[in-house]
Structure 1
Amino acid sequence: MTDLAPFEGLLAEYFEISRGELAAKSVSDPYGSVHVDVGIIRQEVRRSDFLVSGLVYDVATGTVEVVIPPTA
Structure 2
Amino acid sequence: MSDCGCDKAKRDLEEYLRDEVCKTSHQDISDHLENCPTCQDEALVARTLTDVVARACKESAPEELREQVLSRLRAAQTTH
By the TM > 0.5 criterion, same fold? Answer: no
Give the helix-richer structure, 1 or 2. Answer: 2
The answer to which structure, 1 or 2, has the higher relative contact order (CA under 8 A, 6+ apart) is 2
Give the strand-richer structure, 1 or 2. Answer: 1
